[in-house]
Amino acid sequence: MHEHEITREIFRNFPLWMQVVFYVVAFSSIGVFLFGAWKRIQKYRKGRPAGRFNKLPQRFLKVLGIMMTHATLRKNYTYVGVAHWMIFWGFVVLFIGTCIIAFDHDFLRFFGVHLLKGTFYIVFSLFMDVFGVLFIIGLVMMMVRRAKKPFNLNYARVDRPEGKYDRSGYIRDDKIFLWLLLFIAVTGFIIEAARIAADGFPEFEKWAPFGYAMAHLLKSTGQLNAIHMATWWVHGIAVLIFVAYIPYSKAMHILVDYANLMFADKSTAKRLPRVPAEKMDKEGMGYVKLEDFTWKELLDFDACTKCGRCHYVCPARTAGAPLSPRDVILDMRMYADQLSGTEEWIDKQVLTNGGKAKSIAGDVILPETLWSCTTCMACMEVCPVGIEHLTTIVNLRRALVDEGEMEDMLQDALANIGDYGNSFGKPERMRAKWTKDLDFKPKDARKEPVEYLWFVGDYASFDERIQERTRKVATILHRAGVDFGLLYEDERNAGNDVRRVGEEGLYEMLAEDNIAALKSAKFQKIFTTDPHSYNTIKNEYPDFGGEFEIYHYTELLLELIRQGKIRITDKLKGIRVTYHDPCYLGRYNGITEPPREIIRALGMELVEMPRNRSNSFCCGAGGGRIWMDDSGLKERPSENRIKEALSLGDIRYFIIACPKDFAMYSDAVKTSGNEGKIEVKDIIELIEEAMEGAEVTAEA
CB of 454 to another protein, least distance (A): 25
CB of 600 to another protein, least distance (A): 45
Report if residue 31 touches another protein, rule: CB under 8 A.
no
Q: Which of 214, 224, 255, 285 binds another protein (CB under 8 A)?
A: 285
For another protein, which is the closer residue by CB, 203 or 408? 408
Asked whether 621 and 660 are in contact (CB, 8 A), the reply is yes
Residues from 460 through 519 that contact another protein (CB under 8 A): 503-506, 508-509
Asked whether 428 and 420 are in contact (CB, 8 A), the reply is yes
What is the contact mask toward another protein in residues 530 to 549, using x (rule: CB under 8 A)?
--------------------
CB of 630 to another protein, least distance (A): 19
CB of 327 to another protein, least distance (A): 27
According to DSSP, the residues that pair with 351 across neighbouring strands are 165
What is the contact mask toward another protein in residues 384 to 423, using x (rule: CB under 8 A)?
-----------------xx-x-x-x--x--xx--xxx---
Provide the residue type at 294 as one letter: T
According to DSSP, the residues that pair with 454 across neighbouring strands are 527
Phi first, then psi: give them for residue 253, nearest 5 degrees: -60, -20
Q: In this structure, how many other beta carbons lie within 10 angstroms of the beta carbon of residue 279?
A: 14
CB of 415 to another protein, least distance (A): 7
Cα-based distances in Å from 451 to 98, 336, 479, 482, 564: 66, 52, 15, 8, 19
The DSSP H or E segment spanning 72 is helix 71-74
Asked whether 200 and 206 are in contact (CB, 8 A), the reply is no
Nearest CA-CA partner of 395 in 315, 292, 303: 292
For another protein, which is the closer residue by CB, 159 or 402? 402
CB of 510 to another protein, least distance (A): 9
CB of 135 to another protein, least distance (A): 53
Report if residue 281 touches another protein, rule: CB under 8 A.
yes
CB of 393 to another protein, least distance (A): 17
Instruction: State the maximum Cα–Cα separation within the chain, in Å, rounded to a whole number.
Output: 100
Distance CA 338, CA 336 (A): 6
Report if residue 347 touches another protein, rule: CB under 8 A.
no
Provide the residue type at 645 as one letter: A
Report if residue 52 touches another protein, rule: CB under 8 A.
no
Residues from 239 through 278 that contact another protein (CB under 8 A): 275
CB of 38 to another protein, least distance (A): 38
**CA distance from start to end of the chain:** 98
Asked whether 70 and 88 are in contact (CB, 8 A), the reply is yes
Report if residue 287 touches another protein, rule: CB under 8 A.
no
For another protein, which is the closer residue by CB, 54 or 631? 631
DSSP string across 75-114: TT-HHHHHHHHHHHHHHHHHHHHHHHHHHHHHTGGGGT--
Report if residue 427 touches another protein, rule: CB under 8 A.
yes
Report if residue 327 touches another protein, rule: CB under 8 A.
no
Residues within the interface to another protein (CB under 8 A): 275, 280-281, 284-285, 401-402, 404, 406, 408, 411, 414-415, 418-420, 425-427, 503-506, 508-509
